[in-house]
Structure 1
Amino acid sequence: FESGKNAIYYNALYEEVIDIFYGSKINNADMLREYLKYIYEDAMIFKASYFSLENIKIDPILEVKNYLVNKEKPVEQEIICNDLLHIPRSRIVNILHSNKEFIRNSPGVYLHPDSIIISESELSEISSFIGYKIEQNGFLTETEFIKFIKDQLSGIVERHYQLTDLGLRDVIGYKLQNDYSFNSKIISEKGKNLSVSDVFRIFCNKNERITLSELKALKKELNSVIYFDIIYNEKLRITEEEFVSKELVSFDIDKIDNAIDEFCYDDYIAIQDIKYFSSFPECRFKWNSYLLEHYVAEYSKKYRLEHINFNEDSCVGGIVKVSSEIENFYDLVVKVLFDSNISLDTSGALDYLYEKGYLGRRSYKDIDKAIVQAKAMDEKRG
């Protein structure tokens, strides 16, 4: 109390003086409370979790807030706990982790937004920029947001040089929480907590044509992967680099399927084995493996695409007849290995599938299982 504390928690006091009571009957905070009540009953006020000199109501959240505001800088969690010894460490940790008003500047380091000076004019300029970008693109990435502040409002960064990009984003996010949604690396309209996949979908819908380079740039800004399933659902890939609106293409499905028939004599064929497209009908874009891949994946009546996933810079997988007994990619792998004349060991099988264009890299989680099944089929054939 001599240090100015209005109240002391029993848990905090017990943690501090536990060595004094070693070997005694006082072995927890509840017993310490009863002991103190017995000794100081007339001198202090005893509540359920703390005691004080006067009958006051304390708010540990407010105490932690006032402490951080007065510090005017980010503070390590350990230092906060040591400076606020009258509050149990576990309570402080819970307060820091579960209340949005306490900003994590870096792992184990916290601050309060009220300790960061951002003028009304600066905040207004930031808000206007965010609003403009959301109207233009449907969202704003953290990368572009931080760049704007550092380029246009460098005074904020200079005043608070200890702020990390994470801390700066979340401080402004707290101050503008009534206007916008700040969800990790994505800023959007209030109430729209956009996910990374949402951002890729919006990006597709906002642009008639997009490029792989643009998708890679967005991927880098979001520290994510490219959500190709969404991209292919919203756009048509016409080359390695280009994606366009699906309304721009005109597929004669029957004629295209007939053209594929000329190459696919068995139940399947690797995409990369169709190299010539002179027999394919006009569709407003030049035929290539990427356009073929997308056509089979979405439009064909007689064929379907079996692969692990779409890739940035290659077309891998197989074109499979709908009428075949191949039901999934695993079945395709088994059939390809069964039809091959290679020695069926893991390394050799992966090399073969990669070189033939069914895999984008020499890795497949079910390869050993597929080899066993292919061998069993081969033995059954005799």
Structure 2
Amino acid sequence: MTPGNRQPKWDIYEAVILLEGYLETLQGEEPKVQIIKRISTELRRMAANRGLDIDDIYRNENGISFQMQSMDSAYQGKKIYVPATRLFEKVVFLYRNDTERYLKLLQEAKSMVAAKKNNKDAFMVWVASVLPAKRCKWIEKNILRVEQFAIATKMISGSIFDITDISKLEVIYKSAGKNKVFQIKNRKLIKNINDDFNVYMRYCLQLPIQTEKKEEASVSTESYNLVADASAEMKEVLNVVDFERIESMAFTKPRSITFFGKELSIPSTWKDVYVSIVAVLYKYYPDVFSSLSSFPGSTRLEFGKASDLGHMTSPREIDEELCIETNFSATDFIKRIKELLFICGVAHDSLTIVYERRIGTTASNSTSSFSSTACEAEFYAYLQNTVKLADRTCSSYVSSIRSAERYATNKGYESCSLFSENKETTIVTATELYSDSDFIRYNEQQHNRFSAAINKLLEFIGAEIPKKAIASLGNSGNKQTSATAEIFGRIVTVLKKHYEYGFKYDSIRELMRFRQFAEAMEISLPEDDELLKAAILSSGTVIDDKVYCKNDDMPQELQCIVDDVFSSGAAVIYYDSLFVNKQEWMNSYVITSPEMLKEYLQKNIAGCSFAKKFMIKGNRLPEKEAVTDEIKRVWGNNQSVSVYSLHDRLPYIPLNNIWRVISGNDLFVLVSEGEYLFIDRFCISEDEAEDILDFVDNACEENGFASLSDVPLGSIEEENYEFSQLTIYNAIYKKVLSGKYHLNGKILTKEKSELDAVTLLKKYIKDRDECTFDEVADKVIELTGSTNRQYAFQALYDDMVRVDRNRFVANRLVNFPVDEIDAVLSGFITDNFRAIRDVTTFAMFPICGQNWNHYLLESYCYKYSKKYSLHVIHFNDKNAGIIAEKYFNKKYNEMLAIAIARTDVELVPEVIGQYLFNTGYMAKSKYAKLGEIAQRASELRKER
């Protein structure tokens, strides 16, 4: 959850589920309360399935009820009770105008809600089928011991059973093995723990490949460092091939192959893996291989008969009808296996290849592959954490660097490494690339993606761009031959027809499909894959990992849209707001997200500064300053304006951003919910301001403090008659006193001080033998100008002892025999806690100098008892609250939920509120969090 329990923004999937529920309420076939409850359950489950850490407040029934009113406004087209959000208006628009897309979103949302498979239960079933019953008895508890260790060391954040990646489990296993505390703590069980955890890893080995979300119990970077130590020895970590994200397979060795649950022969090399998989695919799909000679884009013969052996570099015979080329790198083998699975129509998760990756290298003065990988990882982290680029953009930059290195190698450069531990090597390679006219042309064809990545790498290592490189980039020609233009025209034709939503240029599969589309359209393309890819990149606009068809009109229209916004006087545009406000135009050019819009803006709009979430006309400004200027610009002549009205006047700034900036700003004063006073519109004369300063200065000199409520108002109230006294006092502080005096509550001091109303009240009651609550409450009004019972209670409970409803006495007038009293209380306080009024008699309590009653008991538990503590929502006169054992350490709401769960009370907020009031747990039957308490009580009942 976000700090301060602020709820995360709703997304479109949550919104379609809410709209579906709203439409059901209109039909009236099910009670609205039940629909709200179901929506809350579904959205909380969706969040859990996404790996979010949610609390009791997240999308609870109260929140859903509030948002349902906002959806009502969106559906009715006007404000009913709660204003409609832009998102809800968009979803209603889709429901009415684009049913197909709405239903698709709803289907996707429902799939997100569907409960995930319980891997732990599946594992226990599997264990029961392969191990004796004796071995099964403690296996779960032993694995959970490792889970507790992993959570405590922050290697994971959730259940160990959510992790099925062997490499991650290996890291956890080895870390536990190295941890002396874990080994000593579990010394009697360590062999069983190791054996049982190995059983779980064996189970995960036979599972289909699963792509786990990073959020779900991911192993932290620090955890990996425990394995990859600085020693010269090679260390091995198990991995499973991920066909969706093929990585470099250098320094790896295959361990096992499982196809449709059946383990194939144990391989010793990647060539063995390739041969085994081709053999089994050939057995089941012979027709595929009968017409296959090579992969698209390859000029080599890769599949043939025995008679073709002489045409291959490293042939292997499958049978008399099929022999295959095997002269490839480990990475190329994996890519070819992926393509064969695609051609044969076999799902990736049907094939599991487990391999070892060696971490660490022997000491060497030369730049190794491992050090190159380390440099790559550091550069990626710099782009992600310092430059704040999106993950896909970071990956694109790294990929471009690697492509440039391959270009340098193929050209026979003396220095071919950009990812190098040696700074000079990187600079020499970059300089040579920038001096190569062929590379410059190739770079321009690809929209300068290589130079952008290399320049960012040079920035990362603290090197300047070579001067000759700048000259080369500036002087390179940009002409295209008519033949090239013709090729581009053909490619654009294919892109327009089949790739409206972008072409993924790094996918071999997509390149194959592109050729198939072109062939069906009778369009000829370059035979070489790299040339075709370069031509496609030059024919469109590259955004992240996709190429979109260029449209000559789009940049001009986008410029007009931005100019129109700026011509209205606005200087700030948030990408989200522009995307929503111009949705129809965005759809016409297939701009599918604010992130994509941002890319187009950065590529096409000049004279602006671009931040992560917004753009500013002219020079860069901090967000708070920029939005404040916009608020001031549209404020008008009124003293106060609502945030919603400001949002109407600032359609390109999200409502939440206006809320955030205005609520923490000294230029604005809260008047009422959503309504703020602009301090420049506050009416106060110079003489009145001077009188206030003189008064506060004199009071501070005399008493050490002044009360804000005592400052002379003169005619200020009359001049600002619309506002409450509280607003006026706050405005006075911000306009006249802020910067000169420090405010703590209502107390003003010259220096920053802990002095507040409660502190002053404690000074007032100090050394008094007896005091009434009414006296101290009157003193609160004198100090602050308003009633605040809790200030009075806090001071009295802290520094005196309560002996009845209205009377408090000095601590020295009471003598509590603590051990005896705690022993008596233990007879009343069962099951960790009880309501104060559950102590029904004081006959057994020892003499203490005052007559025993519930008020005296409250004071005793509040600050004297060794074993028990007092818990209240607010101090009160009704002895409403809880006495709990100190070690129990539960929050008040959790204890209320436990108390309800122990009963058969109906879990309806009104019912449980009345029950908690009647039994003394609460001083009132109304409480804002009763819905959450009811939900938690329901969960606890199920656990019983």
1:30 aligns with 2:598: yes
8 Å CA contact retained: 1:8, 1:51: yes
Residues in 2 aligned to 1:329 and 1:82: alpha-carbon distance in whole angstroms: 52
What is the match of residue 752 of structure 2?
A: 191
What is the match of residue 202 of structure 1?
A: 760
User: Where do 1:1-382 residues align within 5 Å?
Assistant: 5=569, 7=571, 9=573, 11=575, 12-27=577-592, 28=594, 29-30=597-598, 33=601, 37=605, 45-48=607-610, 49-50=614-615, 60-64=626-630, 66-67=632-633, 70-85=636-651, 87=653, 89=655, 91-130=657-696, 136=703, 140=707, 145=709, 148=710, 153=713, 155-175=715-735, 176-183=737-744, 185-189=745-749, 190-192=751-753, 199-207=757-765, 208-209=767-768, 210-217=771-778, 221=786, 223-225=788-790, 230-235=795-800, 241-243=806-808, 272-273=842-843, 288-289=851-852, 293=856, 297=860, 308=870, 362-363=919-920
8 Å CA contact retained: 1:201, 1:234: no
The amino acid that maps onto 1:204 is: K
Residues in 1 aligned to 2:680 and 2:619: alpha-carbon distance in whole angstroms: 25
Check 1:305–1:132 CA distance in 2 against 1; reply closer, same or farther (3 A cut).
Answer: farther
8 Å CA contact retained: 2:761, 2:792: no
SS at match of 1:25: coil
Task: Point out the more displaced range, 170-179 or 3-12.
Answer: 3-12
8 Å CA contact retained: 2:776, 2:792: no
8 Å CA contact retained: 1:10, 1:30: no
Query: Residue 109 of structure 1: CA displacement?
Result: 1.7
User: Which structure has the highest helix share of the two?
Assistant: 2
8 Å CA contact retained: 1:173, 1:181: no
The amino acid that maps onto 1:22 is: N
Check 1:312–1:274 CA distance in 2 against 1; reply closer, same or farther (3 A cut).
Answer: farther
Residues in 2 aligned to 1:305 and 1:273: alpha-carbon distance in whole angstroms: 20
After TM superposition, the score normalised by the length of structure 2 is: 0.25
Could you report, residue by residue, the CA deviation over 1:308-365 in whole angstroms, capped at 9, with x for unpaired residues? 4798668999xxxxxxxxx8899xxxxxxxxxxxxxx989xxxxxxxxxxxx973359
8 Å CA contact retained: 1:68, 1:112: no
Cα root mean square deviation, aligned: 5.3
Residues in 2 aligned to 1:84 and 1:107: alpha-carbon distance in whole angstroms: 19
Residues in 1 aligned to 2:754 and 2:643: alpha-carbon distance in whole angstroms: 29
Query: Residue 75 of structure 1: CA displacement?
Result: 0.8
Check 1:199–1:46 CA distance in 2 against 1; reply closer, same or farther (3 A cut).
Answer: closer
8 Å CA contact retained: 2:627, 2:661: yes
Could you report, residue by residue, the CA deviation over 1:104-146 in whole angstroms, capped at 9, with x for unpaired residues? 2222122321221222332233345556666659663x7xx1x
SS at match of 2:774: helix
Query: Residue 202 of structure 1: CA displacement?
Result: 2.9
SS at match of 1:225: helix
The amino acid that maps onto 2:681 is: S
8 Å CA contact retained: 2:804, 2:856: no
SS at match of 2:715: helix
8 Å CA contact retained: 2:572, 2:626: no
SS at match of 1:81: helix
8 Å CA contact retained: 2:670, 2:677: yes
Could you report, residue by residue, the CA deviation over 1:15-63 in whole angstroms, capped at 9, with x for unpaired residues? 43222332422344325526854xxxxxx634325475xx666752452
Could you report, residue by residue, the CA deviation over 1:262-315 in whole angstroms, capped at 9, with x for unpaired residues? xx9xx999875499x9xx99x9xxx6558x949x949xx9x9997847986689
The amino acid that maps onto 1:362 is: T
Residues in 1 aligned to 2:628 and 2:773: alpha-carbon distance in whole angstroms: 50
Structure with larger RCO (C-alpha < 8 A, sep 6+): 1
Check 1:17–1:314 CA distance in 2 against 1; reply closer, same or farther (3 A cut).
Answer: closer
Residues in 1 aligned to 2:604 and 2:627: alpha-carbon distance in whole angstroms: 25
SS at match of 1:169: helix
SS at match of 1:99: coil
8 Å CA contact retained: 1:96, 1:102: yes
Size of the aligned set, in residue pairs, is 293
Is the radius of gyration larger for structure 1 or structure 2?
2
Residues in 1 aligned to 2:694 and 2:841: alpha-carbon distance in whole angstroms: 49
Residues in 2 aligned to 1:69 and 1:288: alpha-carbon distance in whole angstroms: 62
The amino acid that maps onto 2:569 is: K
SS at match of 1:100: coil
Check 1:62–1:24 CA distance in 2 against 1; reply closer, same or farther (3 A cut).
Answer: same
The amino acid that maps onto 1:186 is: K
Check 1:167–1:232 CA distance in 2 against 1; reply closer, same or farther (3 A cut).
Answer: closer
Check 1:239–1:83 CA distance in 2 against 1; reply closer, same or farther (3 A cut).
Answer: closer
Query: Residue 79 of structure 1: CA displacement?
Result: 1.9
Residues in 2 aligned to 1:245 and 1:109: alpha-carbon distance in whole angstroms: 45
SS at match of 2:688: helix
Residues in 1 aligned to 2:684 and 2:642: alpha-carbon distance in whole angstroms: 23
What is the match of residue 449 of structure 2?
A: none
SS at match of 1:71: coil
The amino acid that maps onto 1:363 is: G
SS at match of 2:676: strand
Residues in 2 aligned to 1:306 and 1:10: alpha-carbon distance in whole angstroms: 53
